[in-house]
Amino acid sequence: MKNTITKSLENSYTYQEYRVLVETLLKEGRSTSKEDSEMMVNYSKLNHSRMKRLDKTIKLPQEVIERIETLKTPIEWIVLSEGWCGDAAQNLPIINKIAEANENINLRIVLRDEHPELMDKFLTNGGQAIPKLIHIENEYSKIESWGPRPSVATKMVTDYKAKNGSITPEFKKDLQVWYNQDKGLSTIDDMMTFLGL
């Protein structure tokens, strides 16, 4: 496990580098997807806009910042992501804000499709769902993961699949509406629980 994680970090990005990568690829008419289809590029454009908006509008409540500031242990956060992923676009800006609130949290982003070995160690119900946050503490003695979406949204997806068999494009739109209305609060709550705060 440690070797797989260490190898992935060699080809990782800061949050800002990741944002620049996605934007640069879009200017070239490309996405982070190996497919580079028009559909993936369009998803990336939409999600780039979402992230840009969230980077400007998401503000952590002061009490949350104060709780995050109490963390004294160095933490490595690696997030498996892709520019075309709607869940990543909604959650990654919030994860970044939390990491920025404490210098002990080192956030790195890796592209899922470039790191299949790492992704395969953190599957969700057998699937390569992203974003997947890998939390590492104490020289790899503690490794946990979170994702691909906050618990409230996960329940929405699970309930919808149980009733309808699979996720539809209409449900995906409804999920994005939910994210917009939630304003990141569910992700913040999940992250606080995840960090034991």
Instruction: State pTM to two decimals.
Output: 0.95
pLDDT at 84 over 90: yes
CATH number at residue 103: 3.40.30.10
pLDDT at 39: 93
Q: Residue 51 falls within a domain, yes or no?
A: yes
pLDDT at 145 over 80: yes
- Single-letter residue type at 120: D
List the single range of 77-86, 108-117, 169-178 with lowest mean pLDDT.
Answer: 169-178
pLDDT at 36: 75
Q: Residue 8 falls within a domain, yes or no?
A: yes
Q: Around Cβ 139, how many Cβ atoms within 10 Å?
A: 9
Residues in Cβ contact with 192 at an 8 Å cutoff, skipping those fewer than 6 apart: 64, 67
How does residue 24 score in pLDDT terms, banded at 50, 70 and 90? very high
pLDDT at 38 over 90: yes
Average pLDDT, rounded, for the chain: 95
Q: Residue 88 falls within a domain, yes or no?
A: yes
Domain span at residue 140 reads 2-149
In the chain, the number of structural domains is 1
Q: Residue 121 falls within a domain, yes or no?
A: yes
